Chains A and B, each alone.
Chain A
């Protein structure tokens, strides 16, 4: 079993829909990252969080440490949101960053 599991693996939505991507992990963590990888391959950090909730524009990230679960929400989705969204968790040491396999999101106009 992977230490970081994302669901769904693939997601297709219509423009304007509310989107949720889930991340569950099985190890103790100090922080969790949400990353966005564009079709061209570049990776951008969206959020780093260790508790509660963060919001940036139409993106919201939440984490429940007790349940070892995080969600990434996108409100009023747009075709430009089409990308792969990656969850990664920080274990004990700085080098111990464990990545999920990503969720491929496609938003249709």
Chain B
């Protein structure tokens, strides 16, 4: 199993550009999450999903959108990138048990 796969690993965006962070898992997990990690801060939940077709906002959803059309995929969309979205983004999945994380995407918005 590949586990949780995130792409890209690095990205630089200009203010106002848009992009999609991809996340896919091959463990048939129902629960998937997007987090951001800022320096010196704990992980913050952006959006989560408890199954295909179901998504919900986390603690810091503004500026982001998600979809969950399949069990495997949970992409995160940034529509109008802002410098405040410079961060490291992690996707994770679980079945109400231990979390499985992707390797992260380091995003810089300039």
Q: Which residues of A contact B (CB under 8 A)?
A: 2, 4, 33, 35, 41-45, 47-48, 86, 88, 94-95, 97-102
Q: What band does the interface of chain B fall in when counting residues whose beta carbon is under 8 Å from A?
A: 20 to 34
Residue of B nearest to A40 (CB): B103
Assuming the contacts A45-B98, A45-B99, asked whether A101 and B40 have C-beta atoms less than 8 A apart, the reply is yes
* Contact sample, A vs B, 5 pairs, CB 8 Å cutoff: A4-B42, A35-B101, A45-B98, A95-B45, A99-B42
Chain A-chain B contacts (Cβ-Cβ < 8 Å), number = 52
Q: Which residues of B contact A (CB under 8 A)?
A: 31, 33, 40-45, 48, 50, 56, 58, 88, 90, 92, 96-101, 103-104, 106
Which has the most chain A C-beta neighbours within 10 Å: B33, B43, B92, B96? B43
